[in-house]
Structure 1
Amino acid sequence: MADIADKKPNVNAKVKKAKGGGGGGGGGGGKKKEVKKETGLGLTKKKDENFGEWYSEVVVHGEMIEYYDISGCYILRPWTMAIWEIMQAFFDAEIKKMKIKNCYFPLFVSPAVLEKEKDHIEGFAPEVAWVTKSGKSELEVPIAIRPTSETVMYPYYSKWIRGHRDLPLKLNQWCNVVRWEFSNPTPFIRSREFLWQEGHTAFATKEEADKEVLEILELYRRIYEEFLAIPVVKGKKSENEKFAGGLYTTSVEAFVPNTGRGVQGATSHCLGQNFAKMFDITFENEKGEKAMIWQNSWAYSTRTIGVMVMVHGDDKGLVLPPKVASVQAVVIPVPFKDADTQAIFDACLKTVEELTEAGLRVEADLRDNYSPGWKYSHWELKGVPLRIEIGPKDLEKKQVRLARRDNSSKVDIPMVDLVKEVKETLEKIQQNLFDVAKQKRDASIQLAKTWDEFTAALGEKKLILAPWCDEQAVEEDVKARTKGEIGAAKSLCSPFDQPELPEGTLCFASGKPAKKWTYWGRSY
């Protein structure tokens, strides 16, 4: 992860107020170069040249996070929380349709409970944070802070589940977890504390559990593709990469072309009966026989927001998909000398009112201590999907100018068609962001049938699709042979949508008969 470390940008280099006039919207005044020079808002790093520092600048200057005095912990500002709340509202409504109920379990875990499921805790042990003191007194028994909640919740599932009428038990909680990362903390992507939802469900049969795993995974795909405009691959994780203590793990995998790294976007696990055995979660079935339950757990986190920034952001700053932007359009007055400023302001406020009544999230920037050019740069940096400019000529012609953040195109539209045109434009921006991201992702996919092809593609930061024998020892060997300063390659997922595997196809790494196609690469 050396390509993107936790680096605080130079905040002071950015906060300059502009004095001159702006341009656009039929208002005249100010050339683009002059606007850029006067704003002091431009990023100092370019996405293609220094991705890590570019990312740090974007999330801070785009007002998404603020660095905190404990490394790996970040303040999530309102611009971020609005995005999280929009995704939360969607997902929460969908799981309620599935009769999943929200609850809350404590943050603290006793060592005895945490260590009960050995395979599970071994997977998290290096990241578990412990409370060892109360005031100045040492605790007799240290208390862990949850890295995930299987061991917190399942002793109570054992208590609550007695007979088949108690099943299915389907709970979810929206909460924070702590994983004490030591390698390259990165805002959103890899932080020591993060927000997420975690679902924990129990069933009488494996068939019910298997069905839910895929239903939840489809909701995660929708969050990425329909809301965040990020293409993902749905697939199954390898035995090495599955959830510790689980039966199998499915995931949605995203890819960041600039860094050549995959991102595990969200996971839906079938836990099988392993935790049921450890925590003695049994029930009496309809025949009066004692049986073990089948369990699932599934989660997505604020990591989703970091992936969105990485995929869509550009050298001007954030680029927010309209579906998750807290401000979908910003209305900016563009007056010039001797113009009727009040009439322009009134038109801006009327525009906001009309669009808000139509269900859109719109604000006007009527601050008189900044030029229009400064405001353009400010809202571009914050990634607002659409800018609506109104100048004196626009008033005369009864029109407004729409400027898109995604492709910088501008068009004048009649005020009478305002709601219809703005809604259609926002839909086009949402679709275009997805289409462009998918085009870039697809252009990064490289087929590799031999080790030489694999290493060449890895060096070119590709997402590699390769035939594999599906053996754990071979995957471990791939990791060992590709280990370097920027991290080893590993399997990302075996896609559900499998290409044809011709008979006689050999594994790229071992030369043994291949059993499946699998995506490989470096990852966050």
Structure 2
Amino acid sequence: MSEDQDLGITQSKIHNTGEWYAEVVQKAELANYGPEGMSGFIVTRPRAYGLWERVQSYLDTRFKQTGVQNAYFPLFIPEGYLEREKEIVEGFDPEVAWVEQAGRNELEERLAVRPTSESIIAPYLSQWIRSYRDLPLRVNQWTSVVRWEATETKPFFRTKEFLWQEGHTAHATRADAWAETMRRLNQYESTYEDLLAIPVLQGAKPEHDKFPGADTTTTVEALMPDGKSVQGATSHYLGTEFADAFDITYTDTDETSRVAHTTSWGLSWRALGALIMTHSDNQGLVLPPTVAPEQVVIVPIWQTETKERVLEYAEDVANNLDDAGIRVELDDRDDQNPGFKFNEWELKGVPLRAEIGPDEATEGTVTLIHRPDGESITAERSEIVETVQEQFDAVYAKLYAAAEETLNSNIRIAETRSELLGTIGQHGGYVKTPWCGDEGCETAIKDEIAAEIVMVPISSDEDDEQDTTDENMGVNNDTTVESNEKSLDLTDSTCVVCDNPAFKTAYFAKSY
């Protein structure tokens, strides 16, 4: 196999999505699989870790602007801590890795390798909170967790160890805690839409699929080009269950002891999987300029007699862009031809390529090529910084528009069971249906076509902090829900599975 062939992507995104995705991840130098005998673990290469750092920076800035402080809690959680919250134990038990021996000594108490941190953080919130003056208390940690997945793993989408952030807060009232839950969900939505160029839908998980111990789990869902949904991030209103279990109480202004309301919320490197899957193509990785390690690659094109002049001009352009804070790479290797360089940087996802040959050096121009579609722009040398920044916006807009079209054209309505099964079977995507709220009706669909309820809409009145008394807070029970300009009227509707009265709108989809 030639070097050029080795660079290329051999699998089809449309026809062999899983194999294509794995090939892009490895050939674009994002990750390697873990050691033999450690299936489900990956080695994150610098290019992928750089993407994660930009996600981290984006979110961390916004967290701190809204009162969050970073902290760090132990990797290991004593078994007794987990058992204090019954639903955590039951929810995560199949996926928990345990440490039973240290060196040659058997431990007196097993230690769980952190699957999530509510049970190790809550006891310390209890120590730190005494008075209403200590509230709200907001902490976050950037870390990794381990969940021993029994299902098939996929780099970034589903691995046994993964990077994430998890925020934990305590509040005096239910209204304040719910506002916090939605604040974080909106920040996650912004991360996808304003940083990663991926439109998402906001909703809540059904009662049977919420985070163990939570009152309400909210989610942002992203639709992949193969018609499967990705749970992009979750924000949980935990109610008072964890506070009761770990004695998180405070003395109110009237000297009465009250139980705090808590939240937790997290985004993992699954966002990187969604980024890769959404934008990339059969030439390799495609990245928006907002996160790309190199935003511009300059490829000088010369003959022997023009080499010195072209390289001098290209270096001057590179320095100009670098001084403006643009991440630029000058590929002046003389052991590779321009065609090889074009293919290599396309494979690695650089959003903008600048070609500089003798003509550009003579005319004082730069030829700019958009990675997503090959569109060519001629930029004046004197305006190169402004033009490059304009082209970044244009590339981002193209990526977002393509993803938005995928989402908007793949939300469909089904009002009977046969319509639901047929639509998902033929098209994939999201199918909105009337639902009675019974888990058994979801199970019947899941058993037949491997699709599940990925979300139910959050009713508009839940954002009103005065309306916080609904037992199933955050889950829509309204008769009409508007989403993506496609409405489903539940008036006099019956569940598509059991024909009982329908009170909710369910979004069914296959998912990663």
TM-score (structure 2 length as normaliser): 0.92
Taking the aligned partners of 1:309 and 1:189, their CA distance within structure 2 comes to 10
Q: Do the aligned partners of residues 339 and 410 (structure 1) sit closer, same or farther apart at CA in structure 2, a change above 3 Å counting?
A: farther
CA apart distance, 1:51? 0.8
SS, match of residue 434 in structure 1: helix
Taking the aligned partners of 1:99 and 1:346, their CA distance within structure 2 comes to 49
Q: Which residue of 1 aligns with 2:112?
A: 144
Residue 340 (structure 1) aligned with residue 310 (structure 2): no
Q: Which residue of 2 aligns with 1:23?
A: none
Q: Which residue of 2 aligns with 1:453?
A: 419
The equivalent position to 1:462 in structure 2, one of 409, 429, 439, is 429
Q: Deviations over 1:111-170 (max 9, x none)?
A: 111122111221111111111222344333321110000001111111121221221111
Taking the aligned partners of 1:502 and 1:113, their CA distance within structure 2 comes to 44
Residue 307 (structure 1) aligned with residue 281 (structure 2): no
What letter corresponds to residue 321 of structure 1 in structure 2? P
Pairs within 5 Å for 1:93-172: 93-172=61-140
Taking the aligned partners of 1:516 and 1:284, their CA distance within structure 2 comes to 39
Taking the aligned partners of 1:44 and 1:182, their CA distance within structure 2 comes to 29
Q: Which residue of 1 aligns with 2:493?
A: 505
Which stretch has the larger CA shift, 154-163 or 134-143? 134-143
Taking the aligned partners of 2:445 and 2:151, their CA distance within structure 1 comes to 21
Taking the aligned partners of 1:475 and 1:43, their CA distance within structure 2 comes to 38
Which stretch has the larger CA shift, 499-508 or 370-379? 499-508
Taking the aligned partners of 2:185 and 2:98, their CA distance within structure 1 comes to 32
Taking the aligned partners of 1:508 and 1:106, their CA distance within structure 2 comes to 46
Q: Deviations over 1:36-61 (max 9, x none)?
A: xx454111111112111111110011
Query: Is the 8 Å Cα contact of residues 282 and 291 (structure 1) preserved in structure 2?
Result: yes
Which stretch has the larger CA shift, 112-121 or 449-458? 112-121
CA apart distance, 1:301? 0.7
CA apart distance, 1:94? 0.8
What letter corresponds to residue 195 of structure 1 in structure 2? L
Pairs within 5 Å for 1:269-348: 269-336=236-303, 338-348=304-314
Q: Deviations over 1:415-473 (max 9, x none)?
A: 12211111111101001101101101222222111100000012122321112222333
Query: Is the 8 Å Cα contact of residues 39 and 373 (structure 1) preserved in structure 2?
Result: no
Pairs within 5 Å for 1:176-325: 176-258=144-226, 260-325=227-292
Query: Is the 8 Å Cα contact of residues 31 and 48 (structure 2) preserved in structure 1?
Result: yes
What letter corresponds to residue 334 of structure 2 in structure 1? D
Query: Is the 8 Å Cα contact of residues 39 and 377 (structure 1) preserved in structure 2?
Result: no
Residue 442 (structure 1) aligned with residue 408 (structure 2): yes
Pairs within 5 Å for 1:485-524: 488-496=450-458, 498-499=481-482, 500=487, 501-524=489-512
Taking the aligned partners of 1:249 and 1:502, their CA distance within structure 2 comes to 23
Query: Is the 8 Å Cα contact of residues 163 and 283 (structure 1) preserved in structure 2?
Result: yes
Taking the aligned partners of 2:379 and 2:296, their CA distance within structure 1 comes to 15
What letter corresponds to residue 432 of structure 2 in structure 1? L
Q: Which residue of 1 aligns with 2:474?
A: none
SS, match of residue 432 in structure 2: strand
Taking the aligned partners of 1:302 and 1:503, their CA distance within structure 2 comes to 40
SS, match of residue 456 in structure 2: strand
The list of structure 1 runs, each at least 4 consecutive aligned residues, that deviate by more than 6 angstroms after superposition, is none
SS, match of residue 240 in structure 1: helix
Taking the aligned partners of 2:218 and 2:181, their CA distance within structure 1 comes to 8
CA apart distance, 1:210? 0.6
CA apart distance, 1:212? 0.8
Counting aligned pairs with the same residue, the percent is 41
Taking the aligned partners of 1:263 and 1:162, their CA distance within structure 2 comes to 40
Taking the aligned partners of 2:54 and 2:510, their CA distance within structure 1 comes to 30
Query: Is the 8 Å Cα contact of residues 158 and 280 (structure 1) preserved in structure 2?
Result: yes
Taking the aligned partners of 1:377 and 1:478, their CA distance within structure 2 comes to 44
TM-score (structure 1 length as normaliser): 0.90
CA apart distance, 1:502? 4.9
Query: Is the 8 Å Cα contact of residues 155 and 279 (structure 1) preserved in structure 2?
Result: yes
The equivalent position to 1:421 in structure 2, one of 359, 384, 387, is 387
Query: Is the 8 Å Cα contact of residues 223 and 429 (structure 2) preserved in structure 1?
Result: no
Unaligned runs of 5+ in 2: 461-480
CA apart distance, 1:221? 0.4
Q: Deviations over 1:234-269 (max 9, x none)?
A: 1111001111110001110011131x2111100000
Taking the aligned partners of 2:367 and 2:100, their CA distance within structure 1 comes to 60
Query: Is the 8 Å Cα contact of residues 252 and 258 (structure 2) preserved in structure 1?
Result: yes
Unaligned runs of 5+ in 1: 1-12, 18-37, 483-487
CA apart distance, 1:506? 2.1
Taking the aligned partners of 2:6 and 2:245, their CA distance within structure 1 comes to 59
Pairs within 5 Å for 1:346-357: 346-357=312-323
Which stretch has the larger CA shift, 38-47 or 117-126? 38-47
SS, match of residue 317 in structure 2: helix
Query: Is the 8 Å Cα contact of residues 166 and 265 (structure 2) preserved in structure 1?
Result: yes
Q: Which residue of 1 aligns with 2:42?
A: 74
Q: Which residue of 2 aligns with 1:476?
A: 443
SS, match of residue 207 in structure 2: coil
Query: Is the 8 Å Cα contact of residues 287 and 350 (structure 2) preserved in structure 1?
Result: yes
Which stretch has the larger CA shift, 510-519 or 355-364? 510-519
What letter corresponds to residue 77 of structure 2 in structure 1? V
Q: Which residue of 1 aligns with 2:471?
A: none
Query: Is the 8 Å Cα contact of residues 276 and 282 (structure 1) preserved in structure 2?
Result: yes
Which stretch has the larger CA shift, 471-480 or 303-312? 471-480
Higher RCO (CA-CA < 8 Å; seq separation 6+): 1
Which stretch has the larger CA shift, 111-120 or 507-516? 507-516
CA apart distance, 1:299? 0.2
Give the alignment's Cα RMSD to 1 decimal.
Answer: 1.4
Taking the aligned partners of 1:169 and 1:362, their CA distance within structure 2 comes to 41
Q: How many pairs were matched up?
A: 483
Q: Which residue of 1 aligns with 2:476?
A: none
SS, match of residue 231 in structure 2: strand
Taking the aligned partners of 2:448 and 2:151, their CA distance within structure 1 comes to 21
Which stretch has the larger CA shift, 356-365 or 207-216? 356-365
Q: Deviations over 1:48-107 (max 9, x none)?
A: 121111111100110111121021111111111111111111111111111111100010
Query: Is the 8 Å Cα contact of residues 73 and 121 (structure 2) preserved in structure 1?
Result: yes
